[in-house]
Structure formats: C-alpha cells, structure tokens
Structure 1
Amino acid sequence: MSDETRPLDNAAGSAAGNAAGGAVRTAAVIPAAGRGVRLGPGAPKALRALSGTPMLVHAVRAMAASRAVSLVVVVAPPEGAAEVKSLLADHALPERTDFVVVPGGESRQESVRLGLEVLPAGIDIVLVHDAARPLVPVDTVDAVIEAVRDGALAVVPALPLADTVKEVVPSTDGSPEPVVATPSRAKLRAVQTPQGFDRATLVRAHEAVTEDVTDDAGMVEHLGHQVVLVPGHEEAFKVTRPLDLVLAEAVLARRRANDGF
C-alpha cells in the first residue's frame, strides 16, 4: 500500500487523459480533521461508528457512489492521517474511484485548502463534503454536479426551514436572549453538503478570503459570484449530537430493510 490510500499518480494520469479527451472530471474533498466535541468524549467525530462502520467511510462511499466522482481526498486529523489511511484500506470502496489521505490543518478552511492543493490536473469540478453528513443520497450528489456542469460556479443543496427563526442578541452567560427580528421563513434555507464548485473559482476564493469561515459557498459569495441552490435531502443531515447518531442508525436500518443497503 502506498503512502496514500490509492496512488495519486494514477489519479493524476487518468485525470490528464480524460482532460485531453474533453471529459469533465469531478473530485470530492472531505475535511475530517475536527474533534466533534458535541458528540461527547471518544474518537474524532468522523471515526465514530455507524452500524459498525466509521462515519467517514459512509461519507466517502456516499461521494464515490456518484459515477461522476473519480477522486476522493480525505483531509484527516494531522496526528491521525496514518490511522485514516489504514481505515479506508480496510473497507470496501468502489474500484473506479481513487482515494487520497492528507493531513489537515487547524481549521476547516485550512483543511479544505490543503485538500485542494493535492488535486491533480484535469479536475474541473470540486465537491466539498462534511464527513459528518454520512448518509447523503447519490441523487443529491449528482444534482449538485449537474448544476455545476450546466454553468453554475457554486452550488449548494438546501432545504426549506421547518422552524420559525429568531434573530437575537447572543448571550454568553446563559441569560435570556432578547429577540431583535423574526426573519421570513419563506426566504431562508438550511444548507447541506456536498457543495459543488468550479475548481478555479473555489481556489480563488480560498486565496482571497483570509478570515476563518465554515461555508465554502460563502467564500465564493465574497468574490461577488452567484451561488445557487438545488434541493437537498432530509437524510443529508449533519451528525452533531448524540441524538443524531440514533437517527442515523435508524436511517441505515431502514435502508437495509428496504434496499439491502
């Protein structure tokens, strides 16, 4: 086994070949260097098990399930990159997709940038996907890719809000927070991942935006470019708290019962 999970040289060679033939190639970057403290003590969030399989493996499989994705870059905790490489090597992953593991940075933004730096030539579309969204359906992934292929520079899957939202003056001591506004729910959306980008646009955004942000599409907005939304999916929720783990297990159990997943 090479230092990467599958040799990047193979990915680069095939990417160059497809680029020469005019094909549009897509890679996914999965930042997975966070600790996920809201899930409680234990392994980093991306390595927590869902039905006996690490959440990260589910997320990688979700990206590789799209036939358009030819490369997945996993950005691992700096001290855990070797463990993540072994983890991916030990689980069945689609043969048509190459996988690379690189050490991450101190922030999500830095980790995504480090993932972008190892992409080979010939990759035109980049997906950025949260490792904590392990159950996103392939139809959602494909819808994001298709919108970028159709000319959008940045695409985000999103859902309408079910709850009324209040804007408040934040409290740092647990005291009641004064409400200052009630935005119209009709104009608000809850965004998910994978977010899809024209590669050159995303690279420019990471070069231009220096403040720490948690949303890559927001960085593209800083450049003055239009970001568009496509329908998200309720199963693309983010596993953040212990109750989310229970829900994720229920979704997997339903998939096994209905689809043999």
Structure 2
Amino acid sequence: MSDMTAGPAVAVLTAAGSGSRLGSEGPKALVDLCGETLLHRAARGLLAAGVIDHITITAPAAAVGRFTAEVCDLADAGRIGVVAGSPASRQASVALGLAAALQARPEAEVVLVHDAARALTPPDLTRRVVAAVRAGYHAVVPGLPVVDTVKEVAVGEVVAASTPGSSTGPEANRVELVVGTPDRARLRAVQTPQGFTRRTLEEAHRRGTLRAEDESLAARDDAALVEAMGGEVAVVAGDPLALKVTTPLDLALAEILARRERQQP
C-alpha cells in the first residue's frame, strides 16, 4: 500500500436526480424499495462494507432536510453529511460533494463516488474497488461484460413516418443508421461505486470544471474525467445486483431482487 492511499476512505453518494424517467413525484432517491428508500439502502450498503469512514450525500437543494432525516439513524459519530447538489449536472454535484467530504475528513486519501440509484450494490463490490485503489490503481471502476451485440450509429437521425393509428411516441418511430459493430469482448458496462486516489479525483475535477455547468458537455461518470486528462482507469469485476434504477421496469426488477434478499436466511 502506498502512502497516497494509506489514509481513510470517503464516499460521495450522488442523489440529486429528479426521478423524471422513473415517473416519481419527488426526488428519485426517496422512492420506496420494499419499505426502504433507495437513498437509505444505498447509504446502508456503503457503510456495511466496513471500509468507508464518511459519506457525503448530494441532495436536491430543496430536499436537504428531508435527506438528512432519512439517514439520521445511520449517521452515528458524524459519518454521514448531506449537502445541496447542483442542478447543472451530475459532475457539478459530485464536485460539491467531494469538497464537502474532504472538509469532513481532511486526511482522506481514497474517494468513492456512488449512485444512490444503485441501491442494491453488495458490500463486497465496494470492498473490491477500495482494495484496488489501495493496491496502487489511481482510478478504478467496476464493470460487467456486455452480453448484447452493440451497434454504433451515425450522429443525427432519420425519423420514419408515424404508423397510422399508432399510439407510440416519436422514439418508437425513429430510425438510425449503423456505422459499426464494436467487438463486445472489449466492452464493459460500467457501474458504481467508482474509486480514486484523492489527488487523482481532485485534479480530474479541477481540469474538467468548465464542462460541469453544461449538461451536454459534462462527464457521464468520474472515470471519464480521469480519461480526459490522460489518466489510466482500471476495471474490476462488477456485480449484476449493482443495477441502476432509472425506469419503472428497473424498479420492478429491483423490488423482486430486494424481496428475494429478505427471504434469504
């Protein structure tokens, strides 16, 4: 273990999403999953790994109080804090959470970034990511092999005429042109938590500051910021349970998995 990663580990738990694609009336992180919100379950799972010293949650500005109350039973010894995220982008929210987490634990040398929407993430996955960072990798993401054939399409689109009498929206009638078929053996579906040395993540966000305020330019994950500055990103084995709850279908699947988890001895 290098001196750069010998200090405590902190986590930024991003939870400022609106939940519009899920169809929820409030913040997505407060959606119920078998009697427990996505937020509470995700925070509990991080702490259960036993390798995280502090969690900073990024919340919608208007819901900081609600989020704080939601995790108060987990926040012993100041291990959880809640700050307002940014409406501009996920990247901007993570930057705010990172600053708050390092203010709470100035001695931290390992930082994880996790999505509350991946509420079923097993503690073993968190331990695996932290262990890889402490082993000397400056940026680590969990990933799963891609099982579907993936097509690359041309920028732009061709929209087909609507089918008479069709009740489907414009997305169902869109036609795009294929320009290539990547070798799926080289592809990974990336998950969270993603882990970094403190110096790497701070520098990546510093260099990517100008992108953060424009959602169309902002990085989709923190590893992309490391890649953009020429850094190396390592992949460890992901877990199917770390699925992201984005749509009603995702939530239905997560509920099935959560019920099965409860039934296990």
Q: Map Cα deviations across residues 207-257 of structure 1 (whole Å, 9 max, x no partner).
A: 101321111001011121110000000000000110111111111111111
Segment drifting more, 210-219 vs 228-237:
210-219
Q: Which residue of 2 aligns with 1:76?
A: 59
Length, aligned pairs only: 237
Identify unmatched segments of 5+ residues in structure 1.
1-21
Q: Determine if the alignment matches structure 1 residue 193 to structure 2 residue 195.
A: no
Shift of 1:67: 1.1
Q: Which residue of 2 aligns with 1:114?
A: 96
Q: Which residue of 1 aligns with 2:42?
A: 59
Shift of 1:194: 0.1
Q: Determine if the alignment matches structure 1 residue 236 to structure 2 residue 231.
A: no
Query: What is the rounded CA distance, in whole Å, between the counterparts of 2:234 and 2:86 in structure 1?
Result: 28
Judge conservation of contact 1:73–1:115 (CA < 8 Å) in 2: yes
1:110 aligned partner, one-letter code: A
Query: What is the rounded CA distance, in whole Å, between the counterparts of 2:62 and 2:91 in structure 1?
Result: 18
Closer, same or farther in 2 for the Cα pair 1:64/1:182, shift >3 Å? Answer: same
Query: What is the rounded CA distance, in whole Å, between the counterparts of 1:26 and 1:251 in structure 2?
Result: 29
Shift of 1:96: 6.7
Query: What is the rounded CA distance, in whole Å, between the counterparts of 1:144 and 1:96 in structure 2?
Result: 24
Shift of 1:142: 0.3
Q: Percent identity?
A: 45
Q: Provide the aligned C-alpha RMSD in A.
A: 1.7
Q: Which residue of 2 aligns with 1:130?
A: 115
2:138 to 146, 153, 158: 153
Q: Which residue of 2 aligns with 1:8?
A: none
Q: Which residue of 1 aligns with 2:32?
A: 49
Q: Which residue of 2 aligns with 1:180?
A: 179
Identify unmatched segments of 5+ residues in structure 2.
160-172, 212-217
Query: What is the rounded CA distance, in whole Å, between the counterparts of 2:157 and 2:242 in structure 1?
Result: 30
- TM-score, normalization: structure 2? 0.85
Q: Map Cα deviations across residues 1-21 of structure 1 (whole Å, 9 max, x no partner).
A: xxxxxxxxxxxxxxxxxxxxx
Shift of 1:41: 3.8
- TM-score, normalization: structure 1? 0.87
Query: What is the rounded CA distance, in whole Å, between the counterparts of 1:94 and 1:105 in structure 2?
Result: 23
Q: Which residue of 1 aligns with 2:201?
A: 202
Closer, same or farther in 2 for the Cα pair 1:97/1:127, shift >3 Å? Answer: farther
